[in-house]
Structure 1
Amino acid sequence: MLLDRGAEVNAQGGRYGNALQAASFRGYEKIVQILLDHGAEVNAQGGEYGCALQAASSKGHEKIVQILLEHGAEVKAQGGECC
């Protein structure tokens, strides 16, 4: 609903860096897919985990990791406080 009302899908800030990283960390598969469908940058950097792939991997969310990889997530990405 927020995206349909003009929310910026790649807005940066907060603990997780952006909405895609937060959804990836929490294991919200449907939200991850919605964000990607609305143009979320799969390799955006920032936040505690550095990128969505690292956030999902840190919590063992295999399905989200697969989704991110299918959308071009960079396997060798580095960054964040945890990585």
Structure 2
Amino acid sequence: MLKTCPKYYRSLLPVKNPGGVKAFGEHLRRLREQRGMSQVELADYANVSNVTVHRIETAQFAATIDVLLSLTKALQIPLHELVKVPGMEEAD
């Protein structure tokens, strides 16, 4: 099914963990703000659209691994720091 869906609609598919997506978005926003960056600046450094950053931060979109890697480079942090969301329990 995904091969026939336009790229835009793929991002609108339901996520399996909406609470985790929301917590991650808030975590990303805190990391960005701690560095004094706007959404547009983060998007530019990560080579993604500012709409993508906004959608991730507002839990409208679950980031793919390639976007996560781009964000780590832009924020100059290791991947584990980006995905370790405070307050979220680790899976057993």
TM tier, smaller: under 0.3
Q: TM-score, normalised by structure 1?
A: 0.27
- The structure with the largest helix share of the pair is 2
Larger Rg: 2
Q: TM-score, normalised by structure 2?
A: 0.25
